[in-house]
Structure 1
Amino acid sequence: MAFELSAQTVYILFLLFFVCSTCGQLYLSVRQSKAVLAHRNHVPAAFTQNVSLAEHQKAADYTLAKQRLARYEILFQALLLLLFTLGGGLDLLARLNQEWVQHDIAQGIVLIGLFALVNMILGWPIAWYRNFRLETKFGFNKMTLATFMADQCKGCLLAIIVGLPLLYVVLLLMRILIATHWFGGAWWLVVWLVWVIFSLLLMWAFPKWIAPLFNKFEPLKDDILRARIENLLHRTGFHSDGIFVMDGSRRSGHGNAYFTGLGNHKRIVFFDTLLKDMQAGEVEAVLAHELGHFAHKHVFKQMIVTFILALVIFAVLGWLLPQSGFYLGLGVHESSHAMALLLFMLVLPVFTFPFSPLASVLSRKNEFEADQFAAKYADASDLIHALTKLYRTNAASLVSDIWYSRFYDSHPGARERIAALQIATKAD
């Protein structure tokens, strides 16, 4: 091995990145709260005609409440990470698992399953508070406790049905390829390929078989709106498997629209909450924006970037897996293939946090391009009105701290986005 990590090196690097990541997230959250609070009593000039002071203040208060909860969640997740790693939590799960299960692959599956179950249960209080306190306070939550628990059970069942076979195949491949030294030790390349194929199949199957487990999808019944949308699809050369309305109001008052699926299984989905508040021209403009992502191949490009990054991640895992320092430096003494997967994915966000702005910059660029596409094939003023309504009905803050935005915002700021569309309107 050309370079071997010592346990001390891993320990120091982990603590360094852990502190930077945790403090960085808290710092950015505080900055965002301060920026929103500083502008709470003044509606930005671009929105004074369409957003009242009361609506603006509701958005500010909603954002401040979410940021307060986010800070508690950051600290909670940081504590859990320390308990699972340096605190010996993963070691404890591994030892308990070894007493119950004998076969190595079964041990690996049970270990990861136990971790997922414990992590989910520990996360329930925050999830419950977010839905039944914070969202309810601001009038967005429509979910009952029965629906919440049903979603949790469905998620667990889906993870077992879909995730268990993938995990079994991955662990089996790791055992065979590592033991036989096939592919010159590049077992991770084969596992990455299996993961890519699985991801594509999941994207293809999601709209038809998975999404309906959680929501009802009905064909769009408004004939006038349907005709307008079909005309837009014809003008842009887009083909889909149908236009559907989702019962988003069953869980939340937030409105949205999205595309899902691959190939002939692509679907256009509108939340019923969005259609309730939008005029036909505004719905068309929102759809035109989504079509812009496909026209500019944003979905395909993002998928390729994701696969390339995953390849790098698997390669790093392949390098770390045989190194004892990787486990010992993170407080783990019970090493195995499954433990390597679990430990690596658990600490990965700590080391990737500094690179968050790169993904956000690319995403915001894509959103600007999609807006310009919408301005070309629909009325830019309709998109401005639609976005303003979305900001209003979703209580989205019209103000954001510049550094918080650089790290987290996948969409451009409200003022920048509207200003770019106004320029496009004048150009027309």
Structure 2
Amino acid sequence: MAGDSRVLMDHNMEIGVTPAQVKKLPKHLREAQISTERTHLISDPAKKPRQRYVQKDGKCNVHHGNVQETYRYLSDLFTTLVDLRWRLSLFIFTLVYVVNWLFFGFLWWLIALIRGDLWHADEEGWTPCVENLNSFVSAFLFSIETETTIGYGYRVITEKCPEGIILLLVQAILGSIVNAMMVGCMFVKISQPKNRAETLMFSHKAVISVRDNKLCLMFRVGDLRNSHIVEASIRAKLIRSQQTKEGEFIPLNQTDINIGFDTGDDRLFLVSPLIISHEINEKSPFWEMTMAQIEKEEFEIVVILEGMVEATGMTCQARSSYLDTEVLWGYRFTPVLSLEKGFYEVDYNNFHDIYETNTPTCSAKELAAKLREGPLLPHLVVSPKILGAVAQKKPVSTSFYTHFSRLKFTIRTTQRVVLQLPQ
């Protein structure tokens, strides 16, 4: 053991690591076998998966704890009831009606008990408050018949009972309020616009590639229904922890990502799937990020699609998010729209498909500087044979067009051909 320790110490001194620095290393790095290469002394740890701020289905992964002022939920009782789970909503719906019927049934039974109708109802010449009410069960049934306006005609209130008339008015008014509240809650819960968002789709991945000589961050959205989302708009937020110049740490800081607010491109006509593009310019948070830097960054992009449901006019919102591992550099989306006889057809099998494309790995800032200096590719030398064919307007071999299929050429003169990147 002593010999091994000495050998390890000598090895550390050889590669420039002192014993004090070795003690400061984590346990798993101290015990691991140290590489003999100086550049691979400590390997970069694998990127751990991040916790989502917003799930792929749009649910926010945030739980509110230690809420002291719980009375605020009761101040907005209607919204609280709508936000409950279905099993709780059905339980409360049933409980409210049963308790209401039992309460007023007890009051009807109490009136009959105080007046003596339970003992003298069968006597000749005795006028009860409610005819044929002789037990609590019959009072409960009369309460149900009164509030639901069933009216079987067997139990009926008489005009010789003023306290019963007042109770009938109170039950009718409160019963209408209970009906309006509970039926309204169930109706709103059934027709919630978030159910409409289930047919709004977001691509699984976001991509970064060049569009019109500019790096763009893109993702795709689509609507599966034939009834459209009216006044649809989309926006995006970058969620990333940040430390200010004063040293303040801001967890999950939100930064706006411009996806067409200035130009109106954020207002969507969502009839067919659309590719939403964010131009990485000076105002973009990705302006100075290269491909390697984005792979090391930890962030999340939250996208929010809003609009009105055409059938109901209610506002609908669909959300999704992209982690840093779901943003792919150098890819584009596969086209999904094709022209058929008399209509356009959308193939949703290719909705999430992407393909690799040639994309510079430098940042958008560096790319813009290179474009200001000149075209990315130098002017290519074309053989005199091809120049002569172009000048005489003769057909050129197809191998020439195949070789330069990704380039666009413009004839400036009959003796000069300039090849440049697509605009």
TM-score, structure 1 length as denominator?
A: 0.18
Question: Larger strand proportion, structure 1 or 2?
Answer: 2
TM-score, structure 2 length as denominator?
A: 0.18
Question: Larger helix proportion, structure 1 or 2?
Answer: 1
